[in-house]
Structure 1
Amino acid sequence: MKTIFSDKATIVIRAMLSQPEKKWVARDFEKEFGVGRARAAAVLSILRKKGFVGGIRSGRLAHNILLNKKALLDEWLKFYSFELNKTYLYYSPYENVLPRLKDYFEAKKLANGYALTLHTGANFITNYVNTQAVYCYLKDEDFNEVSLDLRQALNLKELRKGGNFYLIRPYYKNGAFFNNKKINGYNIASCLQLYLD
């Protein structure tokens, strides 16, 4: 394993951070999150060696429990940067484009096909950041098709610089959508993903 901060490996970390008091075993990640048992065991082993995870190593009471959340997040932030995502810049002529975005995904029956991030997502949680720009993750597997259709539906104009609407192909193809929240009918990236971004 190259890094514990690869897309699939971070599902283990994201799950543990979402339930920090839980006692985990490798098969938990296979059943609940689709991460292979061998990969989960490898991630847990590295986390244990780095001091992020403790617990009982073997036997019928074997388990892993998160020990040092802050240090784990600090190490993750050394690896991850928002610039690892592929970002496409556009201009939207609409002053309030978010309802149109939500309506588009609902009409296409792709309600979970996007997640708002950065200031756009954070504003739904805190209401402290007011920005006119929209930052929107789209699922990687159908990014090209959906982004083209969405650009036409919302009348987005492609730009080289600036812009007020950002479509983002996520570095974390699975992780960027892990534990998303639904707030006022909008898909918002998880608090963890907002923190990382």
Structure 2
Amino acid sequence: MPITNLKAFNAMSDALMKEAEITLTSTASLEVHALGMSFSDLSFERDLPIEGFTGFSDPEPVIEKIELTTCTSSEYLININVTLNNTARMGLDCIGALNMSLYYGQDYLGYAVSQKPELGIPRGVSDQAYLITVDANDVSISSMVLSALTGSTQFYIVGNNPYVTTHGQFVEALSNVNMSVPSSSGSLTNLDIGSSCNLLSLLS
């Protein structure tokens, strides 16, 4: 279906991301022919309730696995697996590889690119995977690593960058995503660290 009013579509998408439910109003002008009689300009209007995503906050997404794969003098690469339960009756397909911002608490870590671009945000439970690129010159990850080792990591996945998606019609809606993502109980107590990373150096 072609989008003829991008402003209205952006407003609808934005509301869908943040609200538990929105209402769309469908209108039509009908012309009816029956039993040799014609009726024209008959107005039809119906409200259509649509369940929203509520910011993906109920239930919260959960980090199942975190792996610090690469450490160099210029950057760290981190793989994060997230379980997302979309309880709404609609999903987002064909939105490409999402490019989100990742925060540990209030601290910006880096940008997170979806590793399953074909997945989108489907209905129900899905396993999302992100590759995080962290600038080693600007960001210290010692507190994040320490929290990960104790199993108490709290991340925020945020859509606040202009490259969140290559599909322009979804940029405004996805820019309002702010998902609180705690670790599942005990899942990070054995943090996976790649051979190029030195744990003592990371904690110093």
Same fold (TM over 0.5): no
More strand by share: 2
Greater C-alpha Rg: 2
TM-score by length of 2: 0.28
More helix by share: 1
